[in-house]
Amino acid sequence: MAWVMRTKKGPVRSRISRHNGELRTQVDSYQLGITLTSKRAMVWESERRESGQIERGAEALLMLAVICCVGLAIEILACMLMGPLLCYLMG
């Protein structure tokens, strides 16, 4: 049995076969380069896209945390330096 899956790159031909009692979907290797089980064939592209978004979100959160920590360190250093300076000037 064969069917065609539509993707952004165009139609992808595939064959469904039975191997050791398990249905398998074989996608043309030059188009996607992967063999998937029939259950995974339709969700593979969306999972790949979602994992990329999660990685980018994690990178953004990490950068935000680094920026906050650097800002806090600068503020603490400024307070430590300004306290004695103000005491000297006022006193």
Q: For residue range 14-67, what is the model confidence (pLDDT) as tens digits?
A: 555 555 655 555 555 444 444 444 555 555 555 656 666 677 788 888 899 999
Phi, psi angle pair for 65, to nearest 5°: -65, -40
Q: Is the model's pTM score more than 0.95? A: no
Q: How far apart are CA 64 and CA 31, in angstroms?
A: 38
Q: What per-residue confidence (pLDDT) applies to 9?
A: 56
Q: How far apart are CA 76 and CA 83, in angstroms?
A: 11
3-state secondary structure of 11: strand
- The two tokens of residue 32 are 């996607």
Q: How far apart are CA 35 and CA 13, in angstroms?
A: 12
